[in-house]
């Protein structure tokens, strides 16, 4: 390679590097528009979880235990008769405790025993939720601790929420940019914060009301997931 060709290549590289260096500050100094967006995805519950309690009391420890075991077995059989599989019924909590007299001079005397057995039932056919509660109560259960509705597949709901959040941010950015007499030419930064698809829970008052009805009617309603995004848009100079 002769000296003239070397000089030409060196000059070309110098001009290329100089052009990049000149463009970088221009991009870094471009005005930005920061916008937050929010979107919500909606899902229909397809699964219910019911926590059922059986509490038994007796003066004799053995009778309290046997009475509770018998009632719990009857409750389990009634639930299985609705088509709930054994794998979807499990013990959540079991307690056995003595009861003491409340009078001042007899506080250390045992007056009886209390046994509590709580079971969790997963209802995969959501239309059977009310029937499971009724069957359990009719079989001897005396407590419904909680009822939660959930959706098994959250991917589609999360995608829906994020898509809406991005669109919300873009809509806001377009309005602001237009008002400023600017045009969006790019994106500098993006961050997102997506929540969880929270289960829908019936509180104790709602469950107590349902137990007084001839047949328990449960409305699962809908579940929601909210996503938030923060986007820094680049505006033209």
Q: Residue 19: its pLDDT value, please?
A: 46
The pair of structure tokens assigned to 120 is 């969790």
Q: How far apart are CA 146 and CA 93, in angstroms?
A: 13
Nearest to 215 by CA among 109, 130, 122: 130
Task: Please write the tens of the pLDDT for every residue from 16-59.
Answer: 444 444 444 455 678 999 999 999 999 889 999 999 999 999 99
Low-confidence ranges of the chain (pLDDT < 70): 1-28, 198-215
Q: How confident is the model at residue 77, as a pLDDT?
A: 97
pLDDT of residue 96: 94
Tell me the C-alpha distance between 106 and 99, whole Å: 12
> Which among 145, 135, 137 is positioned nearest to 207, based on CA atoms?
145
Predicted local distance difference test score (pLDDT) of residue 213: 53
Q: Shortest CA distance to 135 belongs to which of 144, 124, 145?
A: 144
User: What is the reported pLDDT for 17?
Assistant: 43
Q: Which helix (H) or strand (E) holds 190?
A: strand 184-194
């Amino acid at each position: 390679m002769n000296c003239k060709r070397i000089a030409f290549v060196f000059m070309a590289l110098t001009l290329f590097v100089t052009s990049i260096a000149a463009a970088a500050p221009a991009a870094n100094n471009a005005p930005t528009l920061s916008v937050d967006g929010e979107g919500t995805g909606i899902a229909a519950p397809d699964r219910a979880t019911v926590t059922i309690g059986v509490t038994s009391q007796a003066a004799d420890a053995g009778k309290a235990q046997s009475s509770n075991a018998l009632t719990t077995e009857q409750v389990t059989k009634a639930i299985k008769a609705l088509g709930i599989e054994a794998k979807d019924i499990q013990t959540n909590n079991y307690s056995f405790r003595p009861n003491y007299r409340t009078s001042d001079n007899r506080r250390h005397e045992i007056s009886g025993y209390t046994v509590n057995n709580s079971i969790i039932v997963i209802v995969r056919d959501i239309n059977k939720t009310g029937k499971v509660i009724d069957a359990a109560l009719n079989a001897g259960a005396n407590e419904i601790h909680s009822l939660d509705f959930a959706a098994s597949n959250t991917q589609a709901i999360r995608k829906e929420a994020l898509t809406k959040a991005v669109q919300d941010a873009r809509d806001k950015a377009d309005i602001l940019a237009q008002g400023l007499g600017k045009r969006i030419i790019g994106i500098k930064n993006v961050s997102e914060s997506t929540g969880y698809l929270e289960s829908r829970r019936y509180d104790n008052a709602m469950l107590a009301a349902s137990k007084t009805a001839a047949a328990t009617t449960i409305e699962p309603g809908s579940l929601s997931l909210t996503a938030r995004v923060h986007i820094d848009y680049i505006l033209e100079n």
